[in-house]
Structure formats: structure tokens, C-alpha cells
């Protein structure tokens, strides 16, 4: 990945693409005050620098049987490098774990898990997460509703 200087036009491009990744380069150029070919070159440079990742479509979780969101604190049995690497590899392999953060404080990790319903989450918790050889304990917090969900960074 190479370093890149992000100027005002690049910022506008990033803002627009966060809202609609399907914009054509011509439409993008119109919105940011530049030409389509110039936008294409800038987008390619932002991709090459790792600023822009792959374009994705966001799903409505409730419509695809993933409507239960659980924030789960996880404590490992120990903090040996092997244990953390093993747990993090496990997290990367589990499709129901949407996010994972290594934390400061009393808990080692915070994971966000999606499930079809409470019973589905309980199966994952009891048979998978707590059964993992590195996990000592977990504390689950069910989201009752979603007040805010953003994918756009405030740039």
C-alpha cells in the first residue's frame, strides 16, 4: 500500500461513494465538480492506497433471518500469544460474528453476533463460543432496538 494525499475532491469522492457505491464515474464527477476520467483515476488511486475497499450492498438483517443483535463480552482463559491468535482465527471463521474488538478493561474482546432468534444465539453461545478452548467466560447483551446504524465515516 502506498501513501496518498487526500485533498478536498478526494474527500468529496469518498463521501459520495460511502452513500452510493454504484455511482458511475460521470455521475461522481458531476457531484464532486470534476470530470469522469479524473474521478476514475482518483478512485483507482484511493483503491491502490487501501483507502477504498470493495463495494458492497447492505442488507436488511431482519429480512434475511439475522434480526437479533447481541453484543457479547468475552474473557479468555489466558493472554498467551497462542491463545489470542487461536481465538482471533476462530472469530474470523465464524460468519455470525459480525464485528470483533480487542478491548481494554475487564473484558478481552467485544463481539457483535447476529442470530435468527434467542434460541439460535443460545446454541451458538453454549455449543460454539463457550466451548472454545481459549474462552473462559462471556456476558451477552441483547439489542432491543437500533437507534443508529452508520457505515459512513465522518470525513
Does pLDDT of 64 surpass 80? Answer: yes
**What does the pLDDT read at residue 3?**
74
Nearest to 46 by CA among 31, 25, 30: 25
* 3-39 tens-digit pLDDT: 789 999 999 999 999 999 999 999 999 999 999 999 9
Decide if 67 contacts 116 (C-beta within 8 A): yes
Indicate whether 84 and 109 sit together in one domain: yes
Indicate whether 31 and 72 sit together in one domain: no
Q: How far apart are CA 58 and CA 40, in angstroms?
A: 23
Task: Give the structural domain span for 76.
Answer: 61-142
Q: How far apart are CA 42 and CA 38, in angstroms?
A: 6
Q: At 64, list the grid cell.
A: 434475511
Amino acid at each position: 500500500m502506498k501513501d496518498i494525499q487526500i485533498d478536498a475532491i478526494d474527500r468529496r469522492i469518498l463521501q459520495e461513494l460511502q452513500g452510493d457505491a454504484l455511482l458511475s464515474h460521470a455521475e461522481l464527477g458531476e457531484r464532486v465538480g470534476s470530470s469522469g476520467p479524473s474521478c476514475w483515476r482518483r478512485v483507482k488511486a484511493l483503491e491502490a492506497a487501501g483507502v477504498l475497499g470493495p463495494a458492497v450492498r447492505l442488507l436488511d438483517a431482519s429480512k434475511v433471518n439475522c434480526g437479533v443483535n447481541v453484543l457479547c463480552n468475552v474473557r479468555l482463559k489466558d493472554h498467551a500469544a497462542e491463545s489470542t491468535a487461536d481465538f482471533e482465527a476462530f472469530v474470523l471463521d465464524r460468519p455470525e460474528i459480525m464485528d470483533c474488538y480487542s478491548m481494554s478493561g475487564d473484558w478481552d474482546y467485544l463481539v457483535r453476533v447476529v442470530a435468527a432468534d434467542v434460541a439460535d444465539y443460545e446454541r451458538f453461545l453454549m455449543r460454539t463460543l463457550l466451548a472454545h478452548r481459549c474462552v473462559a467466560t462471556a456476558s451477552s447483551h441483547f439489542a432491543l432496538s437500533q437507534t443508529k446504524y452508520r457505515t459512513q465515516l465522518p470525513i
